[in-house]
Amino acid sequence: MSFDVDLFVIGGGSGGVRAARTSAQTGARVALAEDSRMGGTCVIRGCVPKKLMVFASEFTETFAMAREYGWTADTGAFDWLAFRTKLHAELARLEGVYHKILSSNNVTIHEQRATVSGANEVTLADGTKITAGHILLATGGRPSRPDIPNAELAMVSDDIFDMDALPKSILIVGGGFIACEFACIMNGLGVEVTQFYRGTQILRGFDDEARGLVADMMREQGVNLMTDTNVAEMAPADGGMSVTNTHGKTQNFERVLFATGRAPNSKGIGLEEVGIKLAKNGAVEVDEFSQTAVPSIYAIGDLTDRINLTPVAIREGMAFTETVFKNNPTAPDHDLVAYAVFTQPELGTVGLSEEDAAAQEPIEVYATSFKPMKSGFAGRSSKVLMKLIVSKATRKVLGCHVVSDGAGELIQMVGIAVKAGLTKEEFDRTCAVHPTMSEELVTMHNPTRTA
């Protein structure tokens, strides 16, 4: 049977664009549909603008530290609109880069919504039907709001980059990395920040000791972090929102941000109608090669709710190309993926937490927490954590957890060592770089505890 294209990709985020480009480079005829902005969540509404806001927010502490180091210059005030203008210009530039990547590789772009109308057919919003040898779903995810009255009046993460002005106060609801990152960002930009999290500790799933230190430092820096607390009621009020928490206390906030989770973008695009299976949360179910229950249709990225990270989606897209167009069946590698949470300080992690490792096998824990030289000299109270989890049986480093400035950069390098299966003794044989915070990772010779 002859098809209009060999591959039709639905979704122009990082995973979809990478799959489209690499597939087109094999000689395949490729088309892609995106009904919003090219670049998807990461480039337009997530990682990139968020990290630029992180950079902006860090200058408050940088200026404070500078004064302790002898600098006397007046730092002035933060101009949100000036920053936002430059931010939007950068996002537009990156969107153009994504368009160029596709067009230069002869990928046909449809700037409209596409739905699946058959195992080998998609229908565009204008009614055009296109047949395809394979369809790749890469529609990502979206922020979700809790099911409470007036929730629609609050912001979600997509909205925060378009604010007309910084609020004087904000309530951030949630305890995951998005909530914690924006709590630190807003606090750094001078906003009065309150954060509610219904659980007992933020950053569920991360190493307990590491997330505990992040929580302590957030509070130290001025975030009013309230655990075991949630929104019971909220309603419009003069100048913002009136919020009553689950302990009965009512407060007014100029803005409210819900960072209470994300949902796969699987609704209304014809998936179940053609036989694709969805999990309870709407995630597309796939096998190890990202293939759905319909053999001609594959899915990658946040839509599948495996590991919801941009680099993982990109690798899944490349594995798809290897499998389908290079006749080299390739399962994306989801083992020992490093993470970074861009709180202040940052949290970098790879491998098992102390709790998960101890449940699996006997371990040794090597950990140290201390005040870094830069902060200590300036009289600041910040602390860092360097932590290794080691198997007693194999001596392999099963996990590494770092809480410090630049932890995201550091964990990328440590991730190579952990992925390679290096042992604690191989860490020990590595000479330290002095004076650095990270030298502690190769100088902790005696275990802090065993489990």
Q: Which of 366, 425, 427 is nearest to 401 (CA)?
A: 366
Contacts of 294 (CB under 8 A, 6+ apart): 119, 274, 275, 276
Please say whether the beta carbons of 360 and 354 come within 8 A: no
Catalytic-role residue among 110, 134, 434, 445: 434
Joined together, the tokens standing for residue 415 give 């991730």
Query: Can you give the length of the chain in residues?
Result: 451
Q: Which amino acid is at 360?
A: Q
For the chain, the distance separating the N- and C-terminal CA atoms, rounded to the nearest angstrom, is: 61
Q: How far apart are the C-alpha atoms of 191 and 69, rounded to whole Å?
A: 26
Q: 3-class SS at 61?
A: helix
Edge-to-edge strands of the sheet including 339-341? 339-341, 346-351, 397-404, 384-391, 363-370, 449-450
Q: Which of 103, 107, 79 is nearest to 190 (CA)?
A: 79
Q: Which of 162, 211, 188 is nearest to 341 (CA)?
A: 211
Q: Which of 339, 338, 319, 337 is nearest to 329 (CA)?
A: 319
Q: How far apart are the C-alpha atoms of 60 and 190, rounded to whole Å?
A: 8
CA distance readout (Å), 450 to 187, 206, 388? 37, 19, 12
Please say whether the beta carbons of 214 and 191 come within 8 A: no
**Active site annotation includes 99:** no
Tell me the chain's radius of gyration from C-alpha atoms: 24
Which are the catalytic amino acids? 434
